[in-house]
Structure formats: C-alpha cells, structure tokens
Amino acid sequence: MTKKYLVLQIEKEKRGKWSQKFLTTKSILDDKIYDKITDIFFYEDIYQYTTTEYFIDITNYQELYKKSTYQLALDIKNKLTSKYPIVVKIGIGTNLFLAKTACNIITKIQKTTIAYLDEKEYISTCSTHQPLSDFWQISNSMMLKLKKLGINTMEDIRNYSYKKLYEVFGYNAEYLINHSLGIEGATIKELQKETPPRAISSCMTLKPIKTRKESIKELQKLLDLNILKLRENSLSAKTIHLYIKYANNIIPRQIIPIKLTKATSSYPVLMNLTLQTFNDNANLFFPIEKLAISFGEIIKIDMDIQSLPTKKKKIKFIWQNIFYQKKNSSLSKSNKMTFLHT
C-alpha cells in the first residue's frame, strides 16, 4: 500500500472577534485542536511539528473510513473551521516532504486550502520554483550558499555535482539531493522517537446515554487505554483533563483539570484519582453523552520493567463513596473495586 501523509497548518483568523463562549488562551486553543484531531486519527499517527502544524500518517484511514485522501482532509478541515476561529491549510503527499511542499507551495500556486503532490507531479510542478527557502529544511543562509554555487532551483540541485554538494554542505547534502528528487525517508514513528507527544487523549460517545453511575465502566475503559499508551511508550503524565458532555447540552459541558504532584504512569494513581474526580464533579441528575480523557505534560521516562503489572495480576483500586454514600467514614468491602489489568 502506498504511503499517504497529511500536513495540517493552522492560523488564527484575523477578522472578527473570538466568541465569548470560546476560551481564547493560545495553549487552550492548541489543546482543543489537538483533541479534535485525535477524535479522527490515533495519536500514534500524529506528530506535532510546531504549535500550529501537524504531520499525520493517513495511510490506513482511507480503508477505515472508506474515504479518499481528499475527503479525509476536507473532513478534518471542516471539523476544525466550523468549531474554532482558524484558517486551515492541508497538504497531502506520498511522503512527508511532498505533503509539506503541497501545503507550503502548491496551495499558494493553486490558491486553494487543500493540495496533493506525488513524485511525478513534484518534478513537473516544483522543479523551477523559487525561492528555494520555500522548501522544507532549506534555510535562508543555506539558500544563499546555494546561490553562490549558481543553484537557484531544485532542478539545479539535481544537475549539480553531488560530490561538490557534500564538500560544501556535508551530511545536509543528502537532504538537498533527496528533496530535489522528491524523496523523504522520515516517518511519523521516527519523528516521535525524538520527541514525546504533547498529550495522549481518547474519547467515547455513550450509546445509549448513561447516568453517572453507569458511566464509570466506560471511563475505566478510556483510562485503561490511555495508561496503556503511556506505559508502552515509557512516558508519564503530570496533568489530566477530564471532559464530560451531557445529553442534549442540558447543562454546559465540564472540563475538569487534575494536577498531579509529579509526573507518573502509575496505573492505580491515575485510575483512582480520575475516577474520584469524576465522582466528585459529574452531575448526578443529568445523563452523560460523551466522555474524554487527556493526559498532558508528557515526559519520557526510564521504565522499570519489573514494576509493570504482570498478566492476570489483580490490582485493587480503592476510593470512597463511588457507588454508596456511607455515614461511616471507614471503607467497607462494597467500596473496593477489583480490575483485571492485562
């Protein structure tokens, strides 16, 4: 299957004012956009290149959603622009460099917000494009050095002596030569190895809608998935955000931040704390339609393999008054829940 990548760039709308209902803090906007993207794509296939730019491997999503690459791009664009006051540009390509070029250059040439580029179209469309600094990983200083060699376009690079390029640019010459041919070997997984994700998120729409008590099991599933992602990738989190959306928007949705004293990937700590917070804050009288969990302030850690729970090992999670309100402050057996973690 041919690889397909999507590069998504976001700019804040210049015209108009922000809605009073929308939190305008830049970091909050970034989190909301990231959460919206992870509603469609798994976090493993997303790499946040900058605060306003995302690289996404969409290879497997065409079959999953039964949509073309253009339809997938249009869906994510519409979901973001209908929700937030932003302008979205998207490039699609058979590798990350081509997707980035489509986003940076082809959208401007074609005066559109979504553009596609493969190796053949790249050679015919971008070979003579100037300035070279428009291309990914060519800085202004590098462009000036190329200009001194009489190189002004990607076609000039292809026709220049590769040996001389290596003499002038060293290892960077490999990127110049490959990019002049429309070749890029980097993948999302390789980029993620260098930098941990900003957040790990997952959400669930409850069908049928459920009460607070009934929602506990669904929330446990979300937590189990997120904690497993942390531990599999040797990551830990210092903040948790719990999102609760009530049926038919009877009352405003809740976004509940949970701050940990230190970053952790501890299964019982993350599970207990989130469930306790949910029990303390979720409205008892209105049905819940959607739940979401986001782990933030992610850092890379050296995991002690021996500390991981083994298969079929039972872990007891204890928190007060999840299902019953007791006058007696001591915990009874009915307050103890046991989960099987595999």
pLDDT tens by residue, 229-256? 888 778 899 999 999 999 988 888 888 9
Tokens of 98: 């081509």
What confidence score (pLDDT) does residue 302 get? 53
Same structural domain for residues 174 and 31?
A: yes
Same structural domain for residues 150 and 209?
A: no
Same structural domain for residues 59 and 130?
A: yes
Is the residue at 321 inside a domain? Answer: no
What confidence score (pLDDT) does residue 113 get? 95
Same structural domain for residues 149 and 235?
A: no
What confidence score (pLDDT) does residue 13 get? 67
What confidence score (pLDDT) does residue 24 get? 45
Low-confidence ranges of the chain (pLDDT < 70): 1, 13-28, 194-196, 302-342
What confidence score (pLDDT) does residue 335 get? 37
CATH number for 144: 3.30.70.270
Is the residue at 217 inside a domain? Answer: yes
Is the residue at 275 inside a domain? Answer: yes
What confidence score (pLDDT) does residue 92 get? 96
What confidence score (pLDDT) does residue 108 get? 94
Same structural domain for residues 176 and 233?
A: no
Is the residue at 11 inside a domain? Answer: yes
What confidence score (pLDDT) does residue 48 get? 85
- Show which of 147, 180, 213 is a domain's final residue: 180
pTM of model > 0.75: no
Same structural domain for residues 83 and 147?
A: yes
Same structural domain for residues 158 and 208?
A: no
Number of domains in the chain: 2
SS3 labels along the chain: CCCCEEEEEEEECCCCCCCCCCCCCHHHHHHHHHHHHHCCCCHHHEEEEECCEEEEECCCHHHHHCCCHHHHHHHHHHHHHHHCCEEEEEEEECCHHHHHHHHHHHHHHHCCCEEEECHHHHHHHHCCCCCHHHCCCCCHHHHHHHHHCCCCCHHHHHHCCHHHHHHHHCCHHHHHHHHHCCCCCCCHHHHHHHCCCCEEEEEEEEEEEECHHHHHHHHHHHHHHHHHHHHHCCEEEEEEEEEEEEHHHCCCCEEEEEEEEEEECCHHHHHHHHHHHHHHHCCCCCCEEEEEEEEECCEECCCCHHHCCCCCEEEEEECCCCCCCCCCCCCCHHHEEEEEEC
Is the residue at 62 inside a domain? Answer: yes
What confidence score (pLDDT) does residue 317 get? 42
What confidence score (pLDDT) does residue 188 get? 87
Same structural domain for residues 99 and 57?
A: yes
What confidence score (pLDDT) does residue 327 get? 40
Same structural domain for residues 158 and 219?
A: no
Same structural domain for residues 91 and 12?
A: yes
- Show which of 132, 153, 180 is a domain's final residue: 180
CATH number for 294: 3.30.1490.100
pLDDT tens digits for range 156-180: 999 999 999 999 988 889 989 999 9
Same structural domain for residues 70 and 136?
A: yes
Judge whether 25 and 84 are in contact, CB under 8 Å.
Answer: no
Is the residue at 318 inside a domain? Answer: no
Same structural domain for residues 153 and 253?
A: no
Is the residue at 341 inside a domain? Answer: no
Cα–Cα dist 9/53, whole Å: 5
Find the domain containing 76 and state its range.
5-180
Is the residue at 240 inside a domain? Answer: yes
